[in-house]
Structure 1
Amino acid sequence: MAYPNLKQSIWLVVLFFLISLVVALPIGVLGAILDRPLIESPYVIQFLILASFILTALYAHRRTDRTWSDILLLKPASWQLYLPIGVCVVGLAIVGSDLGNLFRHLIPVPESVQDLFGGPARKETPYMFTFYAMVVQAPLAKEVLFRGVILGGLLAHRTRNRAIVWSALLFAISHLHPWRYPTALILGLVLAWWVVRTGSLLPAIVGHALNNFLIVTSTHLEVFGSLDDFSTGTMLPWWLHVCGVFLVLVGMCWFNLVSKGRGEPVETAADGESV
């Protein structure tokens, strides 16, 4: 059977974190010897994340009979698809921001958790490095692992809808930050659907990058409030939330119409339904 199935997909996510710990250990020891907190540096953290993603992907490639071409799915996608993708992502950014603010308003983020998961979005981190980490590295690495490897394997064992949902759940859980689960889950569902619909990772990579760009830039400019208030969140105006939902619906319907007859939907051995 094709690799990975659901249990193997869960193991891949666990393996990613285990590899991260193993790679971080010598750096932590070196930092202790030099009396410098190397492991707290956002530059070191992003290096660890990238190395862990690469090693996990290499492990998965050795276990599967799929070629890198089958995993990466870098097939050209019609430029017309990127217009509805842009509309949808802008809407998702608004809805995601408001949903995240709602969760933080109901259950404020403890300062210890915020410090732990602040990542490259911290104030002292240069914008250009944050841009690289969130807009370039993260979309490429995560799309290859969660949509290329995991979703591709699940489609051989599950129906398309179940494969999309499970891959999105694993994508959300991989963020580790409980307050980000809802928005990450929604984004994961949309990105997986785009991949299944087009048979290409490119729409998901572009959509993921655009989503992170909007988050990084709005955070840097403090469009939705100061980072100091991130633990509780500030609710957006109701009309902006409505606009966000409207943009998501328009973008998804538009993408569905434009993608018909363009690209090759992913085939699955688990079902014969059309997308």
Structure 2
Amino acid sequence: MKTAIKLALIYLAMQILGALAVGPFTMIYAYVKYGTVDRASEFALAPTLLAGFVFMLIYLWQKGYLTGDKRLYSPVSVSYLSWSAMMGISMIYLIDFLMSHLTFLPDWLSDTFDLLQSGWLGIICVAILGPILEELLFRGAITKVLLKKYNPVVAILISGLIFGIFHMNPAQVVGATLIGFILAWIYYKTHSLIPCILIHIMNNSLSVYLALKFPDVEYSSELIGEKAYLTGLVIAFLLFILSWRMMNTYKLSNTTTEI
């Protein structure tokens, strides 16, 4: 548990280090372009995030969390990845429904995400690089450590809670925790990060796409209508159960072969 929390805190420290590394360059850029450093923050967020990713990746690699286990990067089977994608899509829909009933939770990072999504580097960080790095950290390192110390149920629960709390934004904590449980379970079943990365990228990319394409829409029900939304909810629930049952039949020995 201490190691898991330590790794999450180190990630936060790496983001601060990223800000310190990027800050002077963004101030110079702002001064050259606008004649003042007051607008440096407009350019600093995405590079800071990227620098933090790089620093954390280097740390995890040097400490051996990402090496020595070939299964970590196994593509598993085509069928398993397909069911993973199915589970991911249905889970995103179900969590959207849940969050539409938790609108009282404040969104502290709304402006931050708007700023990130205003440029291509921020979009790439949120939609692709962030999910990859977070899976390397939270599943490839933190969940792996927890599974060595606790039984699978406890390890998965702790992993999901750490992942959710780490987001530090009330509007994200519940959804992130639930997704964290599923991703930790998938990692436990396969010891591979590939299905986890796939689901995480799908979730973040869809969120970015909807935010950019439909900026005034908060939840899917507003986009497709209440009746179609409720029908989709039933389908999503059934698909989630089906994909979970199918994925649960796989054993570690047959997740690395074509089925």
Class of the TM-score when normalised by the shorter of the 2 chains: 0.7 to 0.9
TM-score of the aligned structures, taking structure 2 as reference length: 0.80
Q: Check conservation: 2:22, 2:47, Cα contact below 8 A.
A: no
1:152-171 aligned at under 5 Å gives the runs: 152-171=144-163
Q: Secondary structure at the match of 2:249?
A: helix
Q: Check conservation: 1:171, 1:188, Cα contact below 8 A.
A: yes
* Letter aligned with residue 7 of structure 1: K
Listed one character per residue, the Cα deviations across residues 222-257 of structure 1 (whole Å, up to 9, x for unaligned) are 2xxxx34649x9595333323222222122112223
Q: Check conservation: 1:12, 1:56, Cα contact below 8 A.
A: no
For this pair of structures, how many residues does the alignment match? Answer: 244
Q: 1:241 to 1:76 in 2, by over 3 A?
A: closer
1:23 to 18, 34, 58: 18
Q: 1:140 to 1:169 in 2, by over 3 A?
A: same
Q: Check conservation: 1:61, 1:67, Cα contact below 8 A.
A: yes
Aligned-pair CA distance for 1:155: 1.4
Residue in structure 1 matched with residue 54 of structure 2 by the alignment: 54
- Out of 166-175 and 21-30, give the one that drifted further: 21-30
- Out of 152-161 and 30-39, give the one that drifted further: 30-39
* Letter aligned with residue 115 of structure 1: D
Looking at structure 1, the residues matched to 250 and 133 of structure 2 have their Cα atoms a distance apart, in angstroms, of 27
Aligned-pair CA distance for 1:28: 3.7
2:183 to 191, 194, 205: 191
Q: 1:85 to 1:133 in 2, by over 3 A?
A: same
Unaligned runs of 5+ residues in structure 2 are none
Looking at structure 2, the residues matched to 26 and 62 of structure 1 have their Cα atoms a distance apart, in angstroms, of 20
* Letter aligned with residue 75 of structure 1: S
Looking at structure 2, the residues matched to 40 and 71 of structure 1 have their Cα atoms a distance apart, in angstroms, of 40
Q: 1:197 to 1:238 in 2, by over 3 A?
A: same
Aligned-pair CA distance for 1:56: 2.8
Higher relative contact order (CA 8 A, sep 6+): 1
Residue in structure 2 matched with residue 267 of structure 1 by the alignment: none
Looking at structure 1, the residues matched to 135 and 205 of structure 2 have their Cα atoms a distance apart, in angstroms, of 16
* Letter aligned with residue 53 of structure 1: F
Q: Check conservation: 1:131, 1:216, Cα contact below 8 A.
A: yes
Q: Check conservation: 2:46, 2:121, Cα contact below 8 A.
A: no
Listed one character per residue, the Cα deviations across residues 8-62 of structure 1 (whole Å, up to 9, x for unaligned) are 2212212221221233135445555622423333xx4233223223323433444
Q: 1:72 to 1:50 in 2, by over 3 A?
A: farther
Q: Check conservation: 2:143, 2:156, Cα contact below 8 A.
A: yes
Q: Check conservation: 1:93, 1:215, Cα contact below 8 A.
A: no
Aligned-pair CA distance for 1:68: 1.5
C-alpha root-mean-square deviation of aligned residues, in Å? 2.9
Q: Check conservation: 2:105, 2:170, Cα contact below 8 A.
A: no
Q: Which has the larger share of helix? A: 2
Q: Secondary structure at the match of 1:84?
A: helix
1:220-239 aligned at under 5 Å gives the runs: 220-222=212-214, 227-228=215-216, 230=218, 237-239=229-231
Q: Check conservation: 1:72, 1:148, Cα contact below 8 A.
A: no
